[in-house]
Amino acid sequence: MIVFHIDMDSYFASVEQQARPWLRGKPLVVSGRPDIHSVVAAASKEAKRFGIKAGMPTWEAKRLCPHVIFLPGDPDKYESVTRRFLAILVTYTPMVEVYSIDEVFLEATDVVRRYPDPVALAREIKARFREELGEWITCTIGIAPNKLLAKLATEQAKPDGIRWIKPEEVPAVLKATPVEAVCGIGPRIARRLAHMGVWTLADLQRIPEAYLRRVFGVYGRVLHLWGQGIDPTPLRPYWQEEDEKSIGHSHALPKPLRHPEGAKKVLHYLAVKTARRMRENSYVGRVVYALYRDEELGYHGAQKALSVPTCDERVIYETALA
């Protein structure tokens, strides 16, 4: 199997630079509302040279680059461009999985037979993006036997590059890839693996699957397969609908509401929005999960299972508050 992972570079910022020529070549950050404490949603290539990256607080981005330009996000614009690049990709194959607004996977095994090699197809896709979307909207393409390795290839080729991991290269890639570089292995799991002497994906091969399952539960099976360079996740094309497993909303607290009573008002607002969406989709839920981030950017959260499934905002609010 040949899988392509296509990741748009600095997507929101690049779309803005394409739409507004006067922003090209300048450090740009797309974030939430500029009048409240927010985070960087996307940073242009120029902003990244100053160390600015997605997820960073806007105040820190301003400290790293005092002349950075901030723009509020424009979801409608980004979704429009996403629909346009998806329309290009489905001319090659219907086997397109939409991973996020700026990332997709393609199952390209049959398509590449019409080209000298997979890289030739990747170059054609990049050329069409440049021609039909605009020269400032670029992408990075990773090619590999599965989704896990294709995503790793993309990370190695950023920005605006192409990387093909051939089957014979997989053992070397596993030896060179730290476990924390894999999407799905966070700091907590990485620390637990380090205590076992596991630093790279190849190191996982030394740990018996039974032991990984005992420590990590069913996730241990996934870790075992990743250590072999195998990804058990199927590619799910966009036309195969998948039921939502969770529904939620978040909101950055404006300064006037950064006190306990203000936080309760925002929590109630989020409970109402969540419950409304659940009712619109005829959903009910049994687990309420509440999460907040403090001033030092630390995350705190807890969840509680309900005895009876609900879509009532009062129940959701009171459970989250407790």
User: What is the model's pLDDT at position 241?
Assistant: 59
User: What is the model's pLDDT at position 267?
Assistant: 86
- Asked if 285 and 244 count as a contact pair (C-beta separation under 8 A), the reply is no
Q: Which portions of the chain are predicted below pLDDT 50?
A: none
Which residues in 53-85 are b (16+ Cβ under 10 Å) and which e? ebebbbeebeebbeebbebebeeeebeebbeeb
- Asked if 93 and 107 count as a contact pair (C-beta separation under 8 A), the reply is yes
> What are the backbone dihedrals phi and psi of residue 270, each rounded to the nearest 5 degrees, phi first?
-70, -35
User: What is the model's pLDDT at position 264?
Assistant: 84
User: Tokens 């250590």 appear where?
Assistant: 227
The catalytic residues are 103
Question: What is the per-residue pLDDT across 131-163, written as a single tens digit (0 to 9) for each?
Answer: 999 999 999 999 999 999 999 999 999 999 999
How far, in Å, CA of 154 to CA of 13, rounded?
19
Q: What strands, in cross-sheet order, belong to the sheet with 3-8?
A: 96-100, 103-107, 3-8, 139-144, 162-164
User: What is the model's pLDDT at position 209?
Assistant: 94
The reported pTM is: 0.76
How far, in Å, CA of 149 to CA of 155, rounded?
10
User: What is the model's pLDDT at position 280?
Assistant: 82
User: What is the model's pLDDT at position 188?
Assistant: 86
User: What is the model's pLDDT at position 291?
Assistant: 80
- Cα 204 to Cα 73, 86, 89, 188, 223: the distances in Å are 41, 36, 35, 16, 7
How far, in Å, CA of 182 to CA of 199, rounded?
12
Ordered domains of the chain (ranges, CATH): 3-8+76-167 (3.30.70.270), 12-75 (3.40.1170.60), 171-227 (1.10.150.20), 256-321 (3.30.1490.100)
- Cα 259 to Cα 36, 264, 294: the distances in Å are 15, 9, 12
